[in-house]
Structure 1
Amino acid sequence: MNTASAADGFDRLPVIDVRALTGGSSSAADRKAVATQIGAACRESGFFYAVGHGVDAGLQSHLEDLSRRFFALPLEDKLAIRMALGGRAWRGYFPVGGELTSGRPDRKEGLYFGSELGPGHPLVRAGTPLHGANLFPREPSGLRDAVLAYMAALTQLSHALMSGIALSLELAEDYFAARYTADPLVLFRIFNYPPGDDTAEDGHPIWGVGEHTDYGMLTLLKQDEAGGLQVKSRQGGQVRWVEAPPVPGSFVCNIGDMLDRMTRGVYRSTPHRVQNRAGRDRLSWPFFFDPGWTAAVRPIESPALAGAAADDASERWDRQSVHAFQGTYGDYLLGKVGKVFPDLKTEVL
């Protein structure tokens, strides 16, 4: 197995054809071969492009068209489904500057969605944060159906990719499904990054989204042609930011803090950021496939993880260790989201 790690540095993200994991007729050898490629990517950069994934191109194109039509609406119309109306479910629209990364406003606007849960669902009845019904706009019509269909397709793909990650760790293919994602926390965002100056009046860079890692297990990102995603690479003590340009027909996949925690840092949640320099709006569609709310995330016991990596808290922008916290995934997530939307924190915490 490739034993490269994030500490070795990287200058590009690999493109991996994952159809052996998504099809029902592939051989065990073919599935293992794809898993080995994914494992190498998780060790080296924590990122890879997935192609051959089987998600309908027409659905993706339809969702992109509807997303652009929504963001073109007057602000007053978009605010009709503002996040303040979503309460504990943490759903709806936020305007440019309404989301913070490391205490600074991002230059993006967006829509927050999650699994569509009615009032009778046990977690909703219990008042569990980030669970409930979505807020959908009246216009453009069809956005609700497109979002729900897209989330269903990417949930299926995420299960398949996690089976490959399990194989890469010499585990049973259903390892994660059996322990963490039988009822996953599924979150979906649609972001629009408007163009603008790169530097604020105080001299600080203005980021579409600043340096961060994702909180959960696996992220699948669809991005448009504008580019702007950068992934942090460190080699010989030097930091460089590697561009992750759009690859037609692909999703950018990256692992989050919980898989970092499970693998004791061998599979690293790598910092990344976005700056829109295209001179026009940039759209992206990040989909987060995370452990269930009440899951207690623990290290994996596997020969594939012998010689765990050192804790990288001192190198992270937030100086926080993903290995030190105690509690459930829900506890971890709540500690993060309150910093992203401090004005809504009291609705959830």
Structure 2
Amino acid sequence: MTPSIDESNALFDFVVQKGNGVKGLVDNGIKIVPERYIQPPKERILIDKKIINSNDDIDQVLLAIDLSKLHGPEHDQVVGTITKAAETLGFFQVINHGVTLELLESLKGAAHNFFAQPPMEKAVYLKEVSPSPLVKYGTSFVPEKEMALEWKDYVSMMYTNDDEAHAQWPPQCKDVALEYLKSSTKMVRILLEILFENLGATLDEEKFESLTGLKMVNMNFYPSCPNPELTVGVGRHSDMGTLTVLLQDGIGGLYVKLEQGVEDEWIEIPPIPGALVINVGDTMQILSNGRYKSAEHRVRTTSSESRVSVPLFATPKPSEKIGPLPQLVESDGVAHYKQVLFGDYMKNFFGKAHEGKKSLDFAQNDDSA
């Protein structure tokens, strides 16, 4: 039975600790958003609050970049578009990326299939009881530390090798998720080579492995919400890793903050059939000494239908040290970030609720101003 929305502790136990998730509330016919999910006014996503005038930078996310043109006469133009997007918005979309359309559709279907299971089937992967350290099912981000919970359930699958993925990832989605990871990793390599070359650096195999040695595929589920104007699917944050590859469905709801211009301007990343969304993570901003921008983004909810998204996070291993490339520090005359152990950065990132790009403060060099 769904707890009373006035019983905060009972609600937390039902949703978080027993693994029913937000979907459990919706499936039980909840008609009003519980108080634990109501966001402060400043965090709510009002889609009609502001109309942003189009400009060249914004247009880069409205039109997908055709990666097949890297092999033709428009190579330099495509490279320029990618690097400019990384330097400004931190977001861009790509098509002809090497991941088949059939696989993308299968991914969305697999995500719906996983979350359609009875709660007890999903709850076996809860953090405290999961039979595998590679798989975690949960809800919100860090619910124990959040004043207002996020309207999202998820399953996270960490990659070590093919055999362990086949043996330990959930059977409803392991095959398609593994194929997505492998196909996308090839694209990540191409994009990172472009971004490194623009910095005057070379991405060899050792460097690529150090920056992407830890990979995670998440499947996110955003149930339909009775009061979407009061909630968020995901709060304001940037990703901690190097690059994120995201498949979103056709419903929409992903917003990125514009760093330049009027404060608190956001633009929706429109769903484009067959496209994948790429965003720069904190690691890349640190590595580039601030030239590339990790993208602050968030997700709204909707009352019409449930939404899924499937991100692949390409991040350094916890044992890797990250810091600005030495040649950039030399040319810039200052290191805006200090060298940190990525495992420490991860611990800090997951140790608090989402709060914009404040995760970067952990690596900020106080002497860089």
The verdict on how the C-alpha distance between 1:184 and 1:271 changes in structure 2, with shifts beyond 3 A counting, is same
What fraction of aligned residue pairs are identical, expressed as a percent?
26
Q: Is the 8 A contact 1:193 1:276 kept in 2?
A: yes
Structure-1-length-normalised TM-score: 0.74
Q: In 2, distance between residues paired with 1:113 and 1:331?
A: 21
Compute the displacement of 1:240 (Å): 0.9
Q: Is the 8 A contact 1:55 1:153 kept in 2?
A: yes
Q: Which amino acid aligns with 2:189?
A: H
The verdict on how the C-alpha distance between 1:232 and 1:87 changes in structure 2, with shifts beyond 3 A counting, is farther
Q: Is the 8 A contact 1:228 1:276 kept in 2?
A: yes
The verdict on how the C-alpha distance between 1:98 and 1:267 changes in structure 2, with shifts beyond 3 A counting, is closer
Match of 2:207 in 1: 179
Q: Is 1:64 the equivalent of 2:89?
A: no
Q: Is the 8 A contact 1:188 1:287 kept in 2?
A: yes
Q: Is the 8 A contact 1:266 1:309 kept in 2?
A: no
Match of 1:331 in 2: 344
The verdict on how the C-alpha distance between 1:107 and 1:97 changes in structure 2, with shifts beyond 3 A counting, is farther
Compute the displacement of 1:186 (Å): 0.6
Match of 1:273 in 2: 298
Match of 2:38 in 1: none
Match of 1:247 in 2: 272
Q: In 2, distance between residues paired with 1:308 and 1:232?
A: 29
Unaligned ranges ≥5, structure 1 = 1-7, 122-131, 200-204, 312-322, 342-349
Compute the displacement of 1:168 (Å): 2.2
Match of 1:152 in 2: 182
- 1:187-227, CA deviations, whole angstroms, 9 ceiling, x for partnerless residues? 1100000121135xxxxx41100000000110010000110
Q: In 1, distance between residues paired with 2:346 and 2:291?
A: 21
Q: Which amino acid aligns with 1:299?
A: P
Q: In 2, distance between residues paired with 1:89 and 1:133?
A: 14
Q: How does 1:103-122 map to 2 (within 5 A)?
A: 104-117=148-161
Q: Is the 8 A contact 2:66 2:94 kept in 1?
A: yes
Match of 2:170 in 1: 137
Task: Indicate which of 196, 221, 230 corresponds to 2:246.
Answer: 221
Q: Which amino acid aligns with 2:169?
A: F
CA RMSD of aligned residues (A): 3.3
Q: In 1, distance between residues paired with 2:312 and 2:144?
A: 19
Q: Is the 8 A contact 2:166 2:175 kept in 1?
A: no
What secondary structure does 1:288 align onto?
Answer: strand
Q: How does 1:1-349 map to 2 (within 5 A)?
A: 10-12=57-59, 13=61, 15-20=64-69, 26=71, 31-86=75-130, 89=133, 91-95=135-139, 99=143, 104-117=148-161, 135-138=168-171, 140=172, 143-172=173-202, 174-175=203-204, 177-181=205-209, 184-196=213-225, 197-198=227-228, 205-277=230-302, 279-302=304-327, 323-324=337-338, 326-339=339-352
What secondary structure does 2:270 align onto?
Answer: coil
Q: In 2, distance between residues paired with 1:256 and 1:47?
A: 10
Q: Is the 8 A contact 1:223 1:246 kept in 2?
A: yes
Q: Is the 8 A contact 1:85 1:92 kept in 2?
A: no
Give the number of the structure whose residues are more often helix, by fraction: 2
Q: Is the 8 A contact 1:227 1:245 kept in 2?
A: yes
Compute the displacement of 1:270 (Å): 1.9
Q: Is the 8 A contact 2:256 2:295 kept in 1?
A: yes
Higher mean alpha-carbon deviation, 264-273 vs 217-226, is at 264-273
Q: In 1, distance between residues paired with 2:138 and 2:56?
A: 36
Compute the displacement of 1:111 (Å): 0.7
The verdict on how the C-alpha distance between 1:84 and 1:90 changes in structure 2, with shifts beyond 3 A counting, is farther
